[in-house]
Amino acid sequence: MAARVPRDDGEPEGEVLRADEQLVVQLVPMRRRHLRAVLRIEAQVYPRPWSLSLFMSELALRATRAYYVARVRGGVVGYCGLMLSGDDGHVTTIAVDPVWHRHGVGTRLLLNIARVAANKGARNLTLEVRVSNKPAQALYYRFGFHPAGIRKNYYVETNEDALVMWAKDIDTDAYERRLAGIESTLSGSTIFDEPRS
């Protein structure tokens, strides 16, 4: 499967990742320069996308937020965010360009966020997911998330309920072994632009 890789500014480069080429995903902290590409993906995957100003305000909250982008050949192909509050980390957003689904990009982003959360003192991790989004739920189950309740009409644009999921004890050796096991199943390689601690 070939995929076009957009540049950070959102414009396509025209380069194609060949089916026989090893995937190299670079995870870097989200910066303002990434936002054009992030907003392009946001508009493709969410019925009510976040605005530029919302992303900018989230990035400004450095003490309690952590946002990352996944890049392939310098182009943004996915992103995720984390909000920290006491012992809990909340996955605020996670999205992958539809062209890059089933390449392990979302898995890499979630691996990174889970480790960042634990390194910053979180003991638990939570998120909301559409009740109809079974592929995302399957990914979250792999990470030890379990249903904890329903938020009725959480997604107002479609009147769809959200399934609230929690992963407990993410600061334990057992959870790190779970993450290492998930990581071992990924093909290609992941490069981190900064230490995750």
Place of tokens 């890049």: 71
Q: Report the C-alpha gap between 195 and 111 in whole angstroms.
A: 14
Q: Report the C-alpha gap between 182 and 94 in whole angstroms.
A: 18
Place of tokens 């290609």: 188
Task: Out of 128, 154, 157, 175, pick the active-site residue.
Answer: 128
Task: Out of 67, 68, 79, 140, pick the active-site residue.
Answer: 140
Tell how strand 12-16 and strand 4-6 pair up: antiparallel
The answer to whether 76 touches 187, Cβ cutoff 8 Å, is no
Active site residue 67: no
What is the CB neighbour count within 10 angstroms for residue 177? 10
Active site residue 141: no
* Residues catalogued as catalytic: 128, 140
